[in-house]
Amino acid sequence: MLIILLFPALYIFMLRPLIKAQGLSARENLKRVTDSRDELDKETDERKKTQNEVQAKADELERDNRFFVGRDNQIKDQFRKLSHAIEQSTLSILITDVKGNIEYANPKLFDITGYTREEAIGKNAKIFSSGKTPPETYRSLWNNILSGKDWHGEFLNKKKNGELFWEHSTISPIKNEDGIITNFVAYKEDITKIRKLEEQFRQAQKMEAVGQLTGGIAHDFNNILTGIILNSELLKLKIDKDDPLRARVEQTVEQAIKAANLIQSLLAFSRKQTINLQYANLKDVITSTKRLLSRIIREDIELKINIPEKDLTILADEVQIEQVIINLATNARDAMPNGGVLTIEVSDMEIDDKFIDTYGFGKAGRYALITVTDTGIGMDEDTQKKIFEPFFTTKEVGKGTGLGLAMVYGLIKQHEGYIDLYSKPGNGATFKIYLPIEESQDEDLKPREQVVPKRGSETVLVAEDDEIIRKTTISILENYGYKIIEAVDGDDALEKFIKNKDRIKLIILDVIMPKKSGKDVYNTISNILPTVKVLFMSGYTGDVLQVKEITERGLHIISKPFTDKALLIKMREMLDR
């Protein structure tokens, strides 16, 4: 009982505090446990967080890494492409520092200039300058690029071997992040070939224009001279052999023929001269000029002629090809005042696409090539550009007319050929003439023999609007026994023909006449009488096409001014067929 009674007291006084004490520490313990649990949780959380963060960071790094590896590959790829583009570019590319010293150049640049990498790198880009590009070009270049702008322009530059070439350049400054120019880059293109073609085109246009002009003047003179020559010849026939006046007339004819020859060179240059194309063996043509050549050149000049065995058939006016050779030989002689060697060679060759590409002229096909070379004084480039122009001469007054090569030029053009020249001052000159080789041959164009004129008795219709030419032609023919019917224009010719068609054996028709052209008259007449024989007369061919058509149709044509002999021979030849 006491225990029972005591218990509460015990409890109150002893146990309770004890218990209480004990009770307190348990709670505390519990709290502590809880606390540490919390801490642990917190720590765990934090560690997790850190871990997550680390993971995120790692992921990020991984991503970055992947990105950078990718970027690196991309950059490498980009770099590879860019360097290929630059190294394999068909443009020359050059990078210099701000002073123009070469830091980089691509293979194309070495290819064109002939310098090696070792020779060029570190040198100033001035090594390419020829001294022939105007200083203004460089001034404008530097002004532009130093102020940060691009520049485009053309240089005449020099290769390592001294050869000049035209170059189109685009030059731009390269700037760093601060906008400061650190380098220049140049993109260059070799435009020498284009320049050459342009130059040739300009030259051809100029020649065409000059040709038109001279052709027009020559035409009028030609008609006047025809009148003078025919009249003088006629006068000569009327004057006694021992009359002193006869010599005067002969001199008039001689002078007029000289003038006519001069005019002929102008007509030849302007390609307004009618030419008589026939098949010719080039071997024979050159051989026959040999005799003439030995008269032109002096004794201190050695003449070498090199002709192949094989026949080279060209369609040519032999007299004119002879003229070409004589003109070239005369010039060669004049270029060798102290003697030398004149070589004339003939060969054949093919003009193909590669040739046309290289030289900038020509039409594909087989050609006979005549090469005329001398060992004379030669010519500089400026002279070479002008030599085919009429009246261009470097010879003193009275020695040169400046018409020789103009004529050569026109004649070769008229033969559908080409002429080219190579020369250096002090090193002689070589002229190359290309004439198309004719593979198939037409009987009608075979060469004819020249004979002395014979008299005739046939009736001939002469249609010519120019009174002087008509009257003199008629007089010559009458002197040789022919009976003449006279017509003053196209209509008149047609009318007289119809009236007298049974008697008329030959018709002489001027190509260009008022009312009806010679060609139109011919077309009508040949419908009425297809076997009719017609000889066209032509001087200046205002319409070259008409003459071309006439010759192509195998019709007969005689060019003014003609001598009485030429006319009479031609007529007999036609009448006797």
Ligand X SMILES: Nc1ncnc2c1ncn2[C@@H]1O[C@H](COP(=O)(O)OP(=O)(O)O)[C@@H](O)[C@H]1O
* Rounded Cα distance, 469 and 539, in Å: 11
* Identity of the residue, 298 or 577, whose beta carbon is nearer to ligand X in the bound complex: 298
* Identity of the residue, 224 or 305, whose beta carbon is nearer to ligand X in the bound complex: 305
Among 402, 505, 558, 575, binds ligand X (CB under 6 A): 402
Contacts of 339 (CB under 8 A, 6+ apart): 298, 300, 301, 302
Q: Which of residues 322-341 bind Mg ion (CB under 5 A)?
A: 331
DSSP designation for 388 = T
Helix (H, G, I), strand (E, B) or coil at 185: strand
Residue 374 binds ligand X (CB under 6 A) = yes
Stretch that binds ligand X, among 129-137, 163-171, 401-409, 481-489 (CB under 6 A): 401-409
Among 137, 394, 479, 526, binds ligand X (CB under 6 A): 394
What's the one-letter identity of residue 118?
E
Contacts of 296 (CB under 8 A, 6+ apart): 326, 329, 330, 333
Q: Which of residues 419-478 bind ligand X (CB under 6 A)?
A: 429
> Which stretches of 339-470 are assigned E, i.e. beta strand?
340-351, 365-374, 418-423, 429-436, 459-463
Among 78, 182, 251, 383, binds ligand X (CB under 6 A): 383
Q: Which of residues 258-317 bind Mg ion (CB under 5 A)?
A: none
* Rounded Cα distance, 430 and 488, in Å: 51
What pairs with residue 349 in β-bridges? 367
Q: Which of residues 484-523 bind ligand X (CB under 6 A)?
A: none
Reading the block at residue 228, the tokens are 């003078």
Among 347, 371, 401, 479, binds ligand X (CB under 6 A): 401
Among 173, 378, 404, 518, binds Mg ion (CB under 5 A): 404
Reading the block at residue 464, the tokens are 């010519």
* Identity of the residue, 423 or 475, whose beta carbon is nearer to ligand X in the bound complex: 423
Q: Which of residues 57-96 bind ligand X (CB under 6 A)?
A: none
Give the dihedral of Cα atoms 51, 57, 58, 64; nearest 10 deg.
170
Residue 567 binds ligand X (CB under 6 A) = no
Residue 211 binds Mg ion (CB under 5 A) = no
Q: What angle separates helix 245-269 from helix 404-414, to the nearest 10 degrees?
A: 60
Size of the site for ligand X (CB under 6 A): 23
> Least distance (Å) from Mg ion to the CB of residue 506?
40
Among 166, 187, 279, 392, binds ligand X (CB under 6 A): 392
Query: Side by side, which strands form the sheet with 340-351?
Result: 301-306, 340-351, 365-374, 429-436, 418-423
Q: Which does 392 bind (CB under 5 to 8 A by kind): ligand X, Mg ion, none?
A: ligand X
Among 153, 360, 400, 542, binds ligand X (CB under 6 A): 400
* Rounded Cα distance, 571 and 211, in Å: 32
Size of the site for Mg ion (CB under 5 A): 2
Contact by Cβ (8 Å): 155, 166? yes
Among 235, 268, 275, 379, binds ligand X (CB under 6 A): 379
Q: Which does 297 bind (CB under 5 to 8 A by kind): ligand X, Mg ion, none?
A: none
Three-state SS letters, 496-516: HHHHHCCCEEEEEEECCCCCC
Among 335, 342, 435, 437, binds ligand X (CB under 6 A): 335
Contact by Cβ (8 Å): 147, 163? no
Among 406, 461, 493, 504, binds ligand X (CB under 6 A): 406
> Least distance (Å) from ligand X to the CB of residue 374?
5
Question: Which candidate, 380, 387, 372, places its Cα nearest to that of 433?
Answer: 372
Residue 393 binds ligand X (CB under 6 A) = yes
Q: Which residue's entry shows tokens 């007029």?
A: 256
What's the one-letter identity of residue 325?
I
For 478-501, give the DSSP string. Answer: HHTT-EEEEESSHHHHHHHHHHHT
Q: Residue number with the shortest CB distance to ligand X?
A: 404
Stretch that binds Mg ion, among 162-170, 261-269, 396-404, 480-488 (CB under 5 A): 396-404
Residue 376 binds Mg ion (CB under 5 A) = no
Among 125, 351, 405, 513, binds ligand X (CB under 6 A): 405
> Least distance (Å) from Mg ion to the CB of residue 395?
8
> Least distance (Å) from Mg ion to the CB of residue 306?
23
* Identity of the residue, 241 or 298, whose beta carbon is nearer to ligand X in the bound complex: 298
Residue ranges that bind ligand X, judged by CB under 6 A:
327, 331-332, 335, 374, 376-379, 383, 387, 392-395, 400-406, 429
Residue ranges that bind Mg ion, judged by CB under 5 A:
331, 404
